A = this chain, B = another copy of it.
Amino acid sequence: MPVRYVPPVPEALLPVPGITLGATAAHIKNWDRNDVLLVVCDPGTVAAGVFTRNRFCAAPVTVCRRHLDASGRMRALVVNAGNANAGTGERGIADAATTAAAVASMLGCAMQEVLPWSTGVIMEPLPVDRLVAALPAARAAARSDGWFDAARAIMTTDTVPKGASRRVTIDGVPVTVTGIAKGSGMIHPDMATMLAFVATDAPVERALLSSIVKEAADVSFNRATVDGDTSTNDSFVVAATGQARIAPIARTDDPRLPALSGAIEAVAVELAQAIVRDGEGATKFIAIRVEGGRSVDECRKVAFGIAHSPLVKTAFFASDPNLGRIVCAIGNAGPADLDPAGVSFWLDDVLVVDRGGRSPGYREEDGQRVMKEDEITVRVDLGRASGAGSAQATVWTCDFSHDYVSINADYRS
């Protein structure tokens, strides 16, 4: 059960003019469910994406980057679950290219306009024949209202499908943004075993779309961490079909841009939080906000230091206000010249540490009360900057439970 995340009903995921989605079962693993998704975009669609920084990036990531760089246009996305096609060397690249070529042949487009994605077990050869054989069925299933089924087809250890929609009015015309994502473990910025695809019918110039995607990733997926492992396959792509009847948005100073980029960011944030809320074995959703730093970078470092500490995460699982573990994590991740005597932190509204020491007013029952919640905010003031201009950063994580171990000890079986 994800923490305070109710998956969307199918009707909540609004169709995006110019996009159809079809899922089918290729039996990539021994699953009795759909595991292949084909997203078809009308001609004229442009796309941009951000991808994992893992040095062992998967073959489909390499191929996706090449294809997006080559054209910036997108006619299809093809996703398989159950096998990541990662750590598979030259054969993996060939398999991803073969998949893209098969889709291109079926749709009559250039293979550079097809993006292949894979998610699942690493270092097993992709059963590319089964995948290619399933493509016609996926195409036949493609519908404009296929978003919900699409979200289900790309799941691996996810317990629920993840999707979100927004509708905004630009120049008097309704514009839609809909996205789906998968991911629940190996989740860490840049960007997690996480696949997220968001589409809009707004007409957006390709270069501008690239910066929209980067900014949306920074405020969403790059703030989410489950276990600190950045996967080989993480990918976030935004496609714009251009079918909404408004003039193209091409410049960063276009007054219509905030409405559109805000909707895309809202969808990305909802998807990123859904991934953390559905983190493997998660029983709590924890927001960690670090402020009073000299730079965003040092705030982020401390926030992720807290978020990644197994001792902190198990204390949250136990609802135990063992707050010394947070102090310890701050001390590990803090800058070398951090003065502990300036550091304070709060659990929700409860001041726990006041400038380096236990707050005189802190009572264990107050900490206990907050720790029992299933959604908690840890706020840390590093005390290194004064005034309104001080840096801050927020990250989201979950606790570390018995189920995390069970899920990851049994995943391949």
Surface stretch bound by B, among A213-221, A245-253, A398-406: A398-406
Shortest 7 CB-CB contacts between residues of A and residues of B:
A122-B324, A89-B357, A56-B331, A318-B409, A314-B408, A123-B324, A54-B331
Q: Which residue of B lies closest to A193 (CB)?
A: B328
Say whether, besides A232-B328, A323-B123, A327-B123, A311 and B55 are in contact (CB < 8 Å). no
Out of B87, B124, B229, B325, which one reaches A122, CB within 8 Å? B325
Out of B317, B320, B327, B412, which one reaches A412, CB within 8 Å? B320
The chain A residues found within 8 Å of chain B, CB to CB, are: 54-57, 84, 86-92, 121-125, 185-186, 227-232, 308-311, 314-315, 317-318, 320, 322-325, 327-332, 334-336, 338, 340-341, 343, 353, 356-358, 400-402, 404-406, 408-413
A56 → chain B, closest Cβ, in Å? 3
Say whether, besides A88-B357, A405-B317, A229 and B329 are in contact (CB < 8 Å). yes
Most chain B beta-carbon contacts within 10 A, residue among A308, A327, A334, A343? A327
Asked whether, in the complex, the Cβ of A230 is within 8 Å of the Cβ of B332, the reply is yes
Say whether, besides A185-B311, A357-B89, A405-B400, A328 and B227 are in contact (CB < 8 Å). no
Asked whether, in the complex, the Cβ of A227 is within 8 Å of the Cβ of B311, the reply is yes
A323 CA / B84 CA spacing, docked (Å): 13
Between A and B, 15 residue pairs with Cβ closer than 8 Å are A56-B331, A56-B343, A57-B331, A86-B324, A87-B324, A87-B357, A89-B358, A228-B310, A229-B310, A229-B328, A230-B328, A230-B331, A232-B324, A232-B328, A320-B411
A275 → chain B, closest Cβ, in Å? 16
Q: Which residues of B contact A124 (CB under 8 A)?
A: 324
Asked whether, in the complex, the Cβ of B56 is within 8 Å of the Cβ of A328, the reply is yes
Asked whether, in the complex, the Cβ of B315 is within 8 Å of the Cβ of A408, the reply is yes
A137 → chain B, closest Cβ, in Å? 28
Total copies of this chain within the assembly? 2
Asked whether, in the complex, the Cβ of A358 is within 8 Å of the Cβ of B87, the reply is yes
Out of B121, B310, B320, B357, which one reaches A324, CB within 8 Å? B121
Say whether, besides A88-B358, A123-B358, A328 and B408 are in contact (CB < 8 Å). no
A126 → chain B, closest Cβ, in Å? 12
| Besides A57-B331, A87-B327, A401-B405, 18 other A-B contacts (C-beta < 8 A) | A55-B334, A55-B340, A56-B327, A56-B330, A56-B334, A56-B340, A86-B327, A87-B357, A89-B357, A123-B353, A186-B311, A228-B309, A228-B310, A229-B311, A229-B325, A229-B329, A310-B400, A320-B411
A127 → chain B, closest Cβ, in Å? 15
Asked whether, in the complex, the Cβ of B122 is within 8 Å of the Cβ of A310, the reply is no
A334 CA / B317 CA spacing, docked (Å): 31
A208 → chain B, closest Cβ, in Å? 28
Q: Which residues of B contact A308 (CB under 8 A)?
A: 228
A288 → chain B, closest Cβ, in Å? 16
Asked whether, in the complex, the Cβ of B310 is within 8 Å of the Cβ of A227, the reply is yes
Out of B89, B317, B323, B331, which one reaches A409, CB within 8 Å? B317
A99 → chain B, closest Cβ, in Å? 18
Q: Which residues of B contact A311 (CB under 8 A)?
A: 185-186, 227, 229, 408
Q: Which residues of B contact A343 (CB under 8 A)?
A: 56
A88 CA / B327 CA spacing, docked (Å): 11
Q: Which residues of B contact A315 (CB under 8 A)?
A: 408-409
A406 CA / B315 CA spacing, docked (Å): 10
A247 → chain B, closest Cβ, in Å? 41
A401 CA / B408 CA spacing, docked (Å): 10
Asked whether, in the complex, the Cβ of A84 is within 8 Å of the Cβ of B324, the reply is yes
Q: Which residues of B contact A121 (CB under 8 A)?
A: 322, 324
Q: Which residues of B contact A309 (CB under 8 A)?
A: 227-229
Q: Which residue of B lies closest to A325 (CB)?
A: B122
Most chain B beta-carbon contacts within 10 A, residue among A54, A123, A402? A123
A254 → chain B, closest Cβ, in Å? 35
A92 CA / B402 CA spacing, docked (Å): 35
